[in-house]
Every structure is written in C-alpha cells, then in structure tokens.
Structure 1
Amino acid sequence: MTQPAPVRNVLYIMCDQLRRDYLSCYGHPHLHTPNIDRLAAAGVRFSRAYTQGTICGPSRMSAYTGRYVSSHQVAWNSVPLPLEELTLGDYLRPAGIRTALVGKTHATPNLQAQQQLGIDADMARQLDEVGFEAYVRHDGIYPDDPQFADKRESAPYTRYLREHGYGGDNPWHDWANAAQGEDGEVLSGWHMRHADRPTRLPEQHSETVYTTDRAIDFITEQGEQPWCLHLSYIKPHWPYIAPAPYHALYGAAQVLPAVPGGRSDHPVYGAFRQHQESVNFSREEVRLKVIPTYMGLIRQVDDQLGRLFEVLRRTGRWDDTLIVFTSDHGDFLGDHGLGEKEFLLEQAVGVPLIVRDPRGAADTTRGTVDARLVETIDALPTFLDALGLPGAEHRLEGRSLVPLLHGTAQGWREYAIAEYDYAFQTPARERLGQPIDRCRMTMVRSERFKYIAYDGFRAQLFDLQEDPQERHDLGDDPAHAGVREVHQGYLLQWLRGLKRRTTISHAEIERRGERFRYGEPQADSVVKIGVW
C-alpha cells in the first residue's frame, strides 16, 4: 500500500482542566462549542481518551515525552524532568521542524542536575523549556506572594498588561483575575464567591485572547520552514473568573446535577472527600456560582479557536496541518463529592481528544467517533508518523493514531493506564497514615471495567457498562474476584512493558545481532564462548 505524503505542520492545542463532557460535541446540552464541534466534524473524535496523570505536571510531561509517569518520573507539579528524557522538540528539531510553545507547559527546571553537569546557559534554556522554543510562555497563576515576584515581572503577559496601561504590583492578578467591588476595591478571583462577576480587564486583553493572538502571530510569520506549534491555553483552570460577556453567558439553570458520592467505604476515596476543595464543591451554592463561569471560560476558548481556524484557512495552513485538540486533565466540580482533579474517576482522568488529519487518506473517518482506548502519550508517536519521521520504539510508550485516522489499524490496546501519587497531598497522606513512598494509585481501564490499585489498601473496581457514573465499588465483591484478577494481570503486564532500555535503539540491537549471527568481530564485545 502506498503511504500518504507527510503532513507539513502540526498544531497541538491543549486546554487546562477541561472535562471532555463540557463540550457540545461530547454531549453537553447547554454549553455550545461550535468551532470545536466543526473540528470534530472534520476529523475523528475519540470518546475514550485518557490522561496519564490528573494534575498538570505529570500529564504534560507524558504528553511531551510519549511516556508514562512511572517512566519519566515527574510524579507531581514542580518536579523536574530528568535531563536524559527526550521531548517533542528533541525528535522534531533535527528534521528542521520549528517546535514552538505559545502558552503553558508547567515545566520545572532541573537546576541541580544542570549545575552538577556544568551545562551552559543556551543548553539550560532548552532544557528548562522541555525542548520547546518558548515563543511565548504563559503559565499564569502567579499569586500575590513575594516568592513569585521575579516570575511575575519576567512573564511576557505581565509586560503586555503594563504596556497597555494596566498597573499595580501584580497586574495579572489585579486585572485579569480579579473583579471590581461596589467601592472600586479589587475582588480576588482566587475566592470562588466572586466567580459570577466579570474581570476588571476587558475581554480583548484577557489571557485567552492574548494567547490566541500570539499563536496567530507565530503562524502568520512563518515562511517555508515547517513547524509544530503547541498552543496551550491556561483556561478553564481556576481562578474561576471570566471577562465580560463570558461571565454571564450561563446561569444556574444550565448547571447539570452533581453525580452523587459513590457507595464505597474505601479509605483513600474517603480521605480525598475531606479535602477543603471537596468540602467546598459539595455545597450546591458553590457549584451554582462557579460552574457557569467555568462554562463561560470554555466558550471563550471556543470563540478564539474560531479566529485561529479562520487564519489557518486564509493562509492555506488548514490544508497541510495536522490539528490535535485535547486537555491535560479534567475537573470534578463537585461530582462524587470531590473538588479539583486528584482522583482517578472519569471526570478527572477522561479528556477530550479530537484529531484532524488533512490528508485524503483520512477522508473515510472524517466526522466519526472512535471508542477505542487512547492515551495522552499517543500524541508524540502520531506526530512522528504524520510528519514522516522515524519512530523510537525503544523509548516511546504511546502509539501512533494515524492507522485509526486512516482506517487501517489492525488491533489496538486492551487497556489504558493513569497514575497519581498523593504523597504531595499532605492532608490525605497523614490522614491515611501512609509513608511518602507508599501513596501511589494506578488505574487500569479496560473495555468494560475500571480497576484502581493502591499501595496498602484494597483495589477499587467499577463496571462502566452497568455503572457509568462509577457509584458502585466492586473492589471487595466476591462475585467479581475473577475480574479483579484479570486486571491485576493487566497491571503487571503494563509494569513489565515499561521502556527502561532507552539509550540504544531496536535497530542498533538488530544490527549487533546480525554481526553476532554471521561471526563478524565486534570491537566493543568479548566473545567468551570457546575461550579458555
């Protein structure tokens, strides 16, 4: 079969903390996202896509390395990536593909390792940005705390706000993430009680518009050099506050009822339900005030993507660019009596994933929904495949989605994996009496079931066919002992399959094997057979 010509460019769009069921193409009855819906109609919408970690750092490092959390070792936010890990830019730059970032990565510099190795400043900058050219890095979320002062002042968005006349010690907070009170006072967006008010900053200077503007700048200034742009929005992540008119597009009547807390006495689940964010989101008045704003922030992203897609069409890039739209993780929003995202139930671990391949080979799947189990780590192998670049089977743990997009896939994975390490969650860890190195939980999501294994506690099991809301924990049900045993086997199979031999390729091993087979001398080996 003739292989289709490679795509020219890649646009990798990621939202932060966006649940997959908060898009109209994924079934939300009130939140309309027409531009994302049109992208789904032009590509493939994956209905069972899973992140590898339910907080920003672990999830994003899996996306950028194509590897599971247990492999790249970034178990939580502010944990640096090991220097030896290769990321998206390391694979694409040698092929002449400009690999740039507009927005957030949540990457943390590995300063200790850099200092020990004496790495120079230019290389350190590349490592600090996990392989991206930081066209505009915009991680956001710098609170009013002296320890963040340097980061605030060096941030491009802070400079942008000051250039447009928005002053104060922290214009990011005081204008983009704060409302104004009746007497002119600044009302912090960190306090959810202000979520129904508009930001002090006009919409045209808001974070989402600013990020889109910079992405448009990047795309329109490109010449003949192919590119990969990671457009990484910081919304709809908290602070939950939106600019007008998005603060008022939705109201309490559009808030869906919370999924009730599950019928489980599992101690880890119980500990997380006692976290402050869970207690807050268990109050209906909090949900009714915050969720409309969350929806408004999503609608703003959709409107801005409409602008961006029009630029792609006008410049001819729509016809030669692979487009991927996804999220790093979800948000419980009070479902299961939980807030935030630090648990392995569907609201946190399930992410949207829409892929549009512009080539004719993908025409047969356009507008379809694919229910196969796919993962965040599949993005990087997909990019390499679509760009016509060599793979890296000895390192990459994801799989290319191109065969699914082109309708040529032969078989697929039996289960998806996600991980979470709550060692950093001091209240839960101390409440459970767990040592720091015994706080792991691992999800095995098969075709029908979800199995969650814990250090020191029994597993949980949910039948997602009969119980899609995950309310009935079968982890200690004798009738499902066999199912649990099968999923324990999947977990062990996954652990055995993690890629640890990352410094030598499969091709090199084959080459060395051929030399052994035909008796060629090897300068780097000692043949011991027959030697006395």
Structure 2
Amino acid sequence: MTGERNVLWIMCDQLRFDYLGCTGHPHLETPNIDALAARGVRFERAYVQSPICGPSRMSFYTGRYVRSHGSSWNKVPLRVGEPTLGDHLAELGVRNVLVGKTHMKADLAGMARLGIDPASDLGVRIAQCGFEPFERDDGLHPDGPYDPDPPYDRWLRALGYQGDNPWEDWANSAEGPDGELLSGWLLEHADKPARVKAEHSETAYMTDRAMAFIEQAGADERPWCLHLSYIKPHWPYIAPAPYHALYDARHVLPVVRDEAERRDPHPVYARYLEERFSRAFARQGVRERVIPAYMGLIRQIDDELGRLFAFLKRRGLWERTLIVFTSDHGDYLGDHWLGEKELFHECSVRIPLIVVDPSPAADATRGSVSDRLVESIDLAPTFLEFFGGAAKPHVLEGRSLLPLLRDDGSAPARPFVVSEYDYAMRRARTDLGVPISDARLWMVFDGRWKYVHARGFRPLLFDLESDPDEFRDLGADPAFADQRARLHACLSDWALQGASRITLSDAEIARATDREVPAGILIGYWDEEEVAEARRLGSGVPL
C-alpha cells in the first residue's frame, strides 16, 4: 500500500466550466464528478493563467505566471532550470507521475548547452516538466511531435486496429457506408461514432493506465501525485459509441452571442472573428453537429472516473487521497462568434475546479461552493502544503487552497486574477502589422470588472454585473475611464511583483541582512570605536 497521503490530479483538455451537471448544465449528466463536488469544494471562480494549452499547463506545473516561466505559447519550450512541481515534491520524497497529456516542449537547446543527456534520469525529468512519465501521450497526431508511435498506437495495433496511425484512423475517424475513412478532424463527421470501441478509446485507455500505475505503486511506500491528464473533450470532436448518440441538437444550449459584438469590434477581437475555426462555428448547423459529440466525450470521462473512483475505494485509497478535478482552459463552441479558446471571455478563461481534501479538517466545507477568486497556479502550493512541505512564496506565485478547504480564516481574499496571451503565432498579428514583441494581451478580473490590456491598441472592458454575457465592450466609453485606470494600475502593480529571485528564499534574505560587520566588511566606519559600538548594538547578524 502506498504512503499516508497521495494526490490524484485529474485534468481534462478544453473542458468548459459550465459543461458539468454540478455547474448547472441542464442536459449533461456527470454523476461521478457531481459526487466529487458534493464531497469537496467546488470553486466557482477559477481562472487559468493563459487561455491556451501549453502556457496554461506550464503555469499549472510550475505554480508561476506566464511572465515568470516564459513559455508563452504552444511549442515554446519551458527553459531548463525552471523549477516545477516535480522538483518541489521530489524534495519531500513524493513521486510526481504523469498519465496522459502535458503539452510540454523540452528545451533541448538548453539541455545541450548544459551537457544534459535527454535520456538520463535528470534529462527525462527536465524534458517531461518534472513528471515521471508513466504514460505520456499528448494526442497531437498525425504530426507526432513528441512520439511518432506512442504506446497507445501500439496497443491499438495489438488489438487488431491496424495502420500506421491508429490514433487517427480508428480512435479519431468514423467509417462511411462503403468502408471509407471519415476524418474526425472534419466537423461534419462529429455526429458519427469513432471506429474504436469505447473501451479502447483514449479516455478509457488513460484510465486503465492510471489504475496500472496505482497498482504498481502499491509495492512502493513513497507517496505519489498522479496527474491523470485526459486528452478529451479537446478536438477532434468525435466520440465512440454509444457516447456519440447520447445527445443531439435538442440538448444544445442557445448560443451566447449578439450582433452588437460585431459592430465596431476591438481590432484584435475582429481578427479572431475571421479565423477559420471562428467562421466555422458561426455557420448554421455546426454547433448542432459538434456540441453533442463534445457532450458525449464529457459523459464518457465521467463514466471512466466512476470506474477509477471505485478502484480507489477497493484499494483503500479513497479516504487518504486529495483529489482535484479541473481543465486547462475552456472552448468557445461558437459563443461570441468564436471557435477554439485563446481570448478572455468566461467560456475560454474560466475553468471547473473541484478539490476534495480527505483530512478531517476539511469536513466543515464538504459540498460547498466557494466564490473566492482562485488561479490555476494555486494548485502547486496546495499540493506542497498537503504533503507537509514548507511554503515557497519566492518561487510559487500561487496561494495554497488548503486554508479555504479547511475554512481556517487565514486566507486573505485575492483582489483580482490575471491571465496572459501571446498571439504572435496567429494571423491576427500579421493582419494587424503588430511586432512580435507587442502581440500580447493581459486580462485583469476583479470579480466584476474584466479589463484586457492590448499593446498598441485601446483596452477592452466588461462589467459582468450588468452584462454577464460580455456583449458590451466598454473599453472606449469615456464614462468608464476611472474603471480602466484603476484596473490598469492593478495590472501595473502585479507586473512589478514578478518572482524573479527564486534562488534565495525570503528567510535566507532575512538571515543575510546586516551581516557585513561579523564578516569583517567595514564599509563606512570611521574607527574601531564605531565598529565596537556596532557590535555591541547587535546590528550585525552572525554568519
């Protein structure tokens, strides 16, 4: 049996905050996730540090803002030496294990410069973002940037799903009436079943692999943090039977968009309206074809979690494992005339977050919903504290959630949350003629007012109290100049507090203060009498 404490950290990819039963979806059944919320705390206002996979995940995995870790877009490597959750947990003897996706791009150039072999134990840990990769699969075929023939593909072939790329040809394709392949990448095929059986899909496979790790870990007394990172409901939007047919157009909620949004839009938003994925979701009938598949994929995740939770109970781990359920960002699904994610509307930047602390100290908050503003970077310090580690505020920029889970009154309210986005690799930059260094957006949200700073352009501003659907951009309205100035000052204050000094803690700085005299460094003293007086007054701190 494993150690006294473990963490199961479940992350879905591109799951909206409002597509769960417990968050109010009227048609989507997620009984296992709902039961998790009833046992823990559901954080109603949780926000990612960037609304796109790579940067968001690097913030989750480092506990640091994008401006601090520097991985600002997909495929921008996380630099060698950037401390990760795995590094912090290793100091406590805790295994940090991955099953599924990280979207980590290794800094191979930096590793070569330092003479680190990527195949060595150290090299693997650096290349895998601090994780022990029990099963790494980012689901990003057919280009296969990480592993052109991952274990999942080999497993499918062993089951008889033949081909060079079973992930694409079977798990993410349908079959036509004459046996022809119908690519799941194409939105028109979202209503068809994937060619694999449900028990052979990515979601079921990763659940199996998570249980395989836990089974193997039973012989190891070391505690573990297992990151089960599902690839779905991220595109391709195609689900295996019977999940492809559980929902239909009757279950698709009305689209959240208004013609006013397309009248004189902000220049950056205007360019995103022209992206192919946005134009696709603005077409008649696309949402009705895609969203039922998206919902089916979520329902399958819930079913698989039910299987996993039953396994944990049988193993005696249910009552001593901290469980987190979350997502790396949302999905527009046609809201605001957009597809994909990347901008800062609630459906993109806000995430579901459920945390179950098994400690008796958390009994008073079970089943509650917190409206405190929280950020994705809060999870890393939460895990560190749960395992008994000392706080590292000079490195980890988030705040532990344990005081909120245990309602001990020690957690000050966060005045605002921040998210960042680098659109340098999108056509919006070239269409607008923006220099690469200026293609940046920052969001500040204080619980009511959402302010977006766009370098080279006017800001955006939304009042979610009077306009919860975020239809009215007040960024150019002179009546709201004071709010814009206030939130810009919040952003400036945040920007001036970056955690760049990570090699010495505040405690070490305190111990190093005024130690020149004991060290024999006598700067500015006139004579021995002044030095003696300084020693008598104890102004020097012993080495």
TM range (shorter): over 0.9
- 1:432-467 deviation line (CA, Å, top 9, x unaligned): 111111110000010211000100011111011111
Change (3 A) 1:527 1:179: farther
Corresponding residue of 1:3: none
SS of 1:13's equivalent in the other structure is strand
Equivalent position of 1:414 in the other structure: 415
Q: Distance in 1 between matches of 2:388 and 2:284?
A: 51
Give the 3 Å change call, closer, same or farther, for CA 104–150 of structure 1 in structure 2.
closer
Q: How far apart, CA to CA, are the structure 2 residues paired with 1:91 and 1:300?
A: 33
The equivalent residue for 2:183 is 188
Partner of 1:82: 79
Say whether 1:36 aligns with 2:33. Answer: yes
Task: Verify: 1:502 aligned to 2:502, yes or no.
Answer: yes
Asked whether the 8 Å contact 2:100–2:231 carries over to 1, the reply is yes
Q: Which 10-residue stretch deviates more, 305-314 or 291-300? A: 305-314
Residue 152 of structure 1 and its aligned partner are, at CA, apart by 2.5
Number of the residue aligned with 2:58? 61
Asked if the contact 1:7–1:386 (Cα under 8 Å) also holds between the matched residues in 2, the reply is no
Q: Partner residue of 2:106?
A: 109
The letter of the residue matching 1:521 is A
Counterpart contact for 1:461–1:484, Cα < 8 Å: yes
Query: Residue in 2 aligned with 1:446?
Result: 446
CA distance in 1, matches of 2:105, 2:484: 37
Q: Give the Å deviation of 1:141.
A: 2.1
Instruction: Give the aligned residue type for 2:116.
Output: I
Question: Partners of 1:293 and 1:284 in 2: how far apart?
Answer: 17
SS at match of 2:474: coil
Q: CA deviation at 1:374?
A: 0.3
The question of whether the paired residues in 2 share the 8 Å contact of 1:7 and 1:387 is answered with: no
Verify the 8 A CA contact 2:79 2:106 in the aligned structure 1: no
In 2, are the aligned partners of 1:326 and 1:353 still within 8 Å (CA)?
Answer: yes
Aligned match for 1:22, one of 19, 29, 33: 19
Closer/same/farther in 2, CA of residues 150 and 333 from structure 1, 3 Å limit:
closer
Q: One-letter code of the match for 1:503? A: T
AA aligned to 2:125 is: Q
Q: Which has the larger radius of gyration?
A: 2
Match in the other structure for 2:518? 520
C-alpha distance in structure 2 between counterparts of 1:134 and 1:89, whole Å: 11
Q: CA deviation at 1:529?
A: 2.4
Letter in 2 for 1:151: D
Change (3 A) 1:12 1:514: farther
Displacement, 1:149?
8.4
3-state SS, counterpart of residue 210 of structure 1: helix
Q: Which amino acid is 2:228 matched to?
A: L
Secondary structure at the aligned position of 2:9 is classed as strand
2:210 counterpart of 1:215: yes
Provide the rounded CA distance (Å) in 1 between the counterparts of 2:242 and 2:148.
27
2:133 matched to which residue of 1?
A: 134
**1:17-56 deviation per Cα after TM superposition (whole angstroms, max 9, x unaligned):** 0001000101100011100000000000000000011111
Tell me, yes or no, if structure 1 residue 151 matches structure 2 residue 147: yes
* Residues 315-359 of structure 1: CA deviation (Å, up to 9, x unaligned): 111111111110000000000000000111111000000000001
Q: Which moved further from structure 2: 473-482 or 230-239?
A: 473-482
Confirm or deny that 1:341 pairs with 2:341.
yes
Gaps of 5+ in 2: 528-543
Question: What secondary structure sits across from 2:380 in the alignment?
Answer: helix
* 1:170 Cα deviation from its structure 2 partner: 0.8
Q: CA deviation at 1:514?
A: 6.3
Most deviating of 493-502 and 261-270: 261-270
What's 1:466 paired with? 466
- Contact 2:92–2:387 (Cα < 8 Å) also in 1: no
1:52 maps to which residue? 49
Q: CA deviation at 1:402?
A: 0.4
Shift of 1:117: 1.1
Q: State the alpha-carbon separation in 1 of the partners of residues 63 and 4 from structure 2.
A: 20
In the alignment, does 2:223 pair up with 1:226?
yes
Shift of the alpha carbon at 1:409?
3.3
In structure 2, what is the Cα distance between the partners aligned to 1:436 and 1:322? 42
CA contact (8 A) 1:7 1:358 kept: no
Tell me the distance in 1 between the aligned counterparts of 2:84 and 2:275. Answer: 34
Q: How many angstroms apart in 1 are the aligned matches of 2:134 and 2:182?
A: 32
2: CA distance, partners of 1:150 / 1:259: 36
Aligned partner letter, 2:85:
L
CA contact (8 A) 2:59 2:376 kept: yes
Counterparts of 1:369 and 1:38, CA distance in 2: 13
Q: CA deviation at 1:94?
A: 2.1
CA displacement, residues 190-247 of structure 1 (integer Å, 9 cap, x when unaligned): 1111100001111111000000000011112223221110000000000000000000
> Are the counterparts in 2 of residues 282 and 338 from structure 1 also a CA contact under 8 Å?
yes
Matched, 1:374 2:374: yes
Q: Map 1:250-399 onto structure 2 (within 5 A).
A: 250-261=247-258, 263=261, 265-399=265-399
- The 1:514/1:40 distance shift into structure 2, 3 A limit, reads farther
Per-residue Cα deviation, 1:165-196 (whole angstroms, up to 9, x for no partner): 21111111101000001100111111111100
Q: Please state how far the C-alpha of 1:527 moved relative to its aligned partner.
A: 4.4
**Contact 1:7–1:359 under 8 Å retained in 2:** no
Assess, with a 3 A threshold, how the Cα gap between structure 1 residues 511 and 287 changes in structure 2: closer, same or farther.
same
* Deviation digits for residues 503-524 of structure 1 (CA, Å, limit 9, x no counterpart): 11112111112645xx4227xx
> Which residue identity lines up with residue 412 of structure 1 in the other structure?
A
Cα contact 1:417–1:443 (8 A) shared by 2: yes
Q: CA-to-partner distance for each residue in 1:449-488, whole Å, 9 max, x for gaps?
A: 1000100011111011111110011111122111111101
Is structure 2 residue 7 aligned with structure 1 residue 10? yes
Q: 8 Å contact 2:41–2:369 — kept in the other structure? A: yes
- Amino acid of the structure 1 residue aligned with 2:519: P
Question: Where does residue 435 of structure 2 map in the other structure?
Answer: 435
List 4+ stretches of structure 1 deviating above 6 A: none
Equivalent residues of 1:382, 1:402 under 8 A apart: yes
Instruction: Give the letter aligned to residue 404 of structure 1.
Output: L
Partner secondary structure for residue 8 of structure 2: strand
Equivalenced residues, count: 517
Q: Secondary structure at the match of 1:398?
A: coil
